[in-house]
Amino acid sequence: MSIHPTAIIEEGARVGAGCVIHAHAIVTRHAVLGDGVVVHPFAVVGGDPQDLRFDPSTRSGVRVGDGTVVREHVTIHRATKADGWTEVGAGCFLMVSSHVAHDCRLADKVILANAVLLAGHVHVGAGAFVGGGALVHQFARIGEGTMIGGGAHVARDVPPFTLMTRRDELIGLNVVGLRRRGLPAATFAELKRAFRAVNVPVGNVRELAADALSTGGYQSAEVRRFLEFFAGGKRGFARVLRGSNDESAGD
């Protein structure tokens, strides 16, 4: 473990083996860091949530998984409810000045580029990449393997394995990310078919996804997770814009 003399680690914080806490970083008593976490200068892990109704005496916290890197000026706020946790998974990379608000949950290997702002209660799936300056509305969900373009405004749920830009505009599947996963050709083909099944027809997307799941004969776990994503959430879903060549959107 390496802790710079000017770093602040409050009594009650739990810091795992091999962590590096750089100069002027703050790890509050509400934080639990896994092994090998790196916190860079002026980052604050475990600060109070920005909620006018929050009682600072509430027992809540932040958990950060093994090997996650927290760069300069990042802020990760603790949960609002008693015994609640804001959670950042293992192997995540939170770039300069990104913000993880209260009650967010980031799965493993999530990357937030510079100045990404996650509002409260946002969920981000494993391996997702959120581009610089993107703004994510409270309670939104970003599915696993998704790529969000820089400067995007995310006000609706973004399905797994997709590419989104601007304001809730789906471009298609995250082809580059899927290829890097080394998925079999059959899985890739099924994902394209499932993507079209929920984006090309006009109708209720939850019903379209449920119908595709029950009748589409899909074999891959990735496709099932893609379609099951539409059964949850509170904010509606990012969709391919009409008139944007829907038929090729999954290519």
Sheet holding 2-3, edge to edge: 2-3, 20-21, 38-39, 69-70, 93-94, 111-112, 129-130, 147-148, 162-165, 169-173
Is residue 46 among the annotated active site residues? no
Is residue 18 among the annotated active site residues? no
Rounded CA separation 72/214 (Å): 47
Is residue 102 among the annotated active site residues? yes
Using CB atoms within 10 Å of the CB of residue 109, give its burial: 0 to 12 exposed, 13 to 18 middle, 19+ buried: buried
Write down the catalytic residue from 61, 67, 89, 103: 103
Q: How many CA atoms lie within 13 A of 208 on its CB side?
A: 16
Rounded CA separation 199/192 (Å): 11
How is 94-114 classified by DSSP, letter by letter? E-TT-EE-TT-EE-TT-EE-T
Q: Residues for the chain: how many in total?
A: 251
162-165 vs 169-173, strand pairing mode: antiparallel
Rounded CA separation 43/27 (Å): 8
Write down the catalytic residue from 120, 145, 172, 250: 120
**Spatial contact of 140 and 237, defined as CB atoms under 8 Å apart:** no
Write down the catalytic residue from 30, 77, 102, 123: 102
Helix or strand holding residue 189 (H, E): helix 185-199
C-alpha dihedral sign at 147, 153, 158, 163: negative
Active site residues: 102-103, 120
